């Protein structure tokens, strides 16, 4: 495939290649990898192990593999390398890539916690955290996952549908897609939480994020590639562009069982508003994340941690797009008018919850 990889991907590639044999079969996430010296298959969603002999497991995509299968792999396979992002495992014993044992165990801890999630659970219920892109959700998620080690994050709706969380298995479940598939799983004592952002600013932030030069487009969704390659007005004329401009409305009010083209904005707004008025649903405006943090600490009895600034676009990154963005604002705001109404509902409902 070839191309640019960040340091974590490069480290995993070097670790795997240090022990690969010509008859190996590698499973790796799709990306701009250099050539592997053996057979390889790339996963972009749920996958089966098949006859693979080496697995490059991206920890952010741990749910792509059935949990029972991963448990057998961790128990029976040899760990070659564990880093911030990847764990590299081989079916047969190989020399470990140079790494101190203590550092290895630190990097393996999220995987071990995932596999023993029920044993380390603290809360009587489960918090379902809806991570809407470019709303400050990464910072909030990282704070919550450090507080509740019994957690799982689903970056892909197909992984959630293929390997859904079992009731009572986690304190914290992250969802990087629409909320509707989680709703039938929720029981008494469970919560649905998240943050929304001023719609036009969220949309433009997503454009800037997709255009960051160091990002690897091979790992992008179709929408992110279009945001990177097209002007904003042209992007808004596409189906993925219209969805991106109304993404918060889709995430809270969309029904994953129906094509989005069959769901009107008014219908989605009504479903989202009904959801927000449930006693066990709590969403906050992203500019009130500190108040949200304090409220969550009170609800779930933990000491609030300071929220970091993670995955944030630099202010200077907007300057080269300023003229394009200014011209596009009227079209964006026509497209996201129902989402603007939803955002006002979130602001009002959160104001009622804040002491």
Q: Is the pLDDT of residue 97 over 70?
A: no
Q: Is the pLDDT of residue 28 over 90?
A: yes
pTM of the shown model: 0.93
CB-CB contact of 105 with 92 (8 Å)? no
CA distances from 86 to 6, 108, 289, 307 (A): 12, 9, 30, 25
- The pLDDT-based confidence of 168 (bands split at 50, 70, 90) is very high
Residue of higher predicted confidence among 32 and 266: 266
CA distances from 220 to 43, 180, 209, 215 (A): 13, 23, 11, 9
pLDDT at residue 25 in the model: 98
State pLDDT tens for residues 33-43: 999 999 999 99
- Domain map of the chain by residue range? 7-115, 127-353
Q: For residue 123, count CB atoms less than 10 angstroms from its CB and return exposed for 0-12, middle for 13-18, buried for 19 or more.
A: middle
- The pLDDT-based confidence of 1 (bands split at 50, 70, 90) is very low
pLDDT at residue 305 in the model: 87
Share of the chain above pLDDT 70, in %: 98
Q: Is the pLDDT of residue 298 over 80?
A: yes
- The pLDDT-based confidence of 316 (bands split at 50, 70, 90) is confident
State pLDDT tens for residues 193-239: 999 999 999 999 999 999 988 878 878 888 899 999 999 999 999 99
State pLDDT tens for residues 46-62: 999 999 999 999 999 99
What average pLDDT does the chain have? 93
- Provide the H-helix boundaries in 230-336: 232-236, 239-245, 247-253, 265-276, 289-300, 322-335
* Dist CA 113 CA 102 (whole Å): 16
* Spatial CB neighbours of 295, under 8 Å, sequence gap ≥ 6: 282, 284, 353, 354, 355
Other C-beta atoms closer than 10 Å to the C-beta of 329 total 13
Mean pLDDT on 246-273: 97
- The pLDDT-based confidence of 102 (bands split at 50, 70, 90) is confident
- The CATH topology of domain 127-353 is Rossmann fold (3.40.50)
């Amino acid at each position: 495939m070839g191309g640019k990889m960040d340091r974590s991907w490069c480290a995993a590639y070097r670790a795997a290649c240090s022990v690969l044999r010509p008859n190996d079969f590698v499973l790796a996430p799709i990306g701009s990898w250099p050539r592997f010296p053996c057979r390889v298959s790339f996963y972009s969603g749920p996958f089966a192990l098949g006859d693979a002999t080496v697995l490059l497991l991206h920890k952010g995509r741990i749910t792509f593999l059935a949990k029972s299968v991963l448990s057998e792999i961790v128990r029976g396979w040899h760990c070659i390398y564990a880093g911030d992002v990847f764990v590299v495992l081989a079916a047969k014993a190989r020399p470990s890539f140079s790494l101190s044992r203590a550092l290895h165990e630190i990097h393996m801890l999220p995987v071990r916690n995932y596999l023993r999630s029920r044993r380390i659970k603290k809360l009587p219920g489960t918090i379902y955290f809806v991570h809407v892109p470019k709303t400050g959700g990464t910072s909030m998620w990282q704070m919550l996952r450090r507080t509740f080690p019994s957690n799982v994050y689903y970056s892909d709706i197909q992984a959630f549908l293929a390997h859904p969380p079992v009731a009572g298995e986690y304190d914290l479940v992250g969802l990087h897609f629409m909320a509707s598939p989680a709703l039938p799983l929720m029981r008494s004592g469970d919560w649905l939480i998240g943050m929304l952002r001023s719609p036009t600013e969220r949309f433009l932030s997503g454009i800037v994020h997709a255009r960051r030069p160091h990002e690897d487009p091979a790992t992008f969704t179709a929408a992110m590639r279009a945001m990177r390659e097209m002007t904003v007005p042209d992007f808004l004329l596409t189906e993925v562009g219209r969805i991106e401009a109304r993404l918060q409305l889709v995430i809270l009010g969309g029904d994953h069982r129906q094509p989005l083209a069959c769901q009107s904005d008014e219908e989605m707004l009504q479903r989202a508003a009904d959801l927000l008025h449930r006693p066990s649903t709590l969403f906050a405006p992203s500019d009130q994340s500190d108040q949200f943090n304090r409220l969550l600490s009170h609800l779930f009895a933990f000491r609030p941690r300071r929220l970091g600034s993670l995955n944030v676009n630099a202010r200077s990154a907007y300057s080269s797009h300023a003229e394009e963005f200014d011209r596009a604002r009227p079209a964006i705001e026509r497209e996201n008018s129902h989402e603007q109404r939803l955002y006002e509902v979130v602001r009002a409902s959160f104001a009622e919850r804040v002491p």
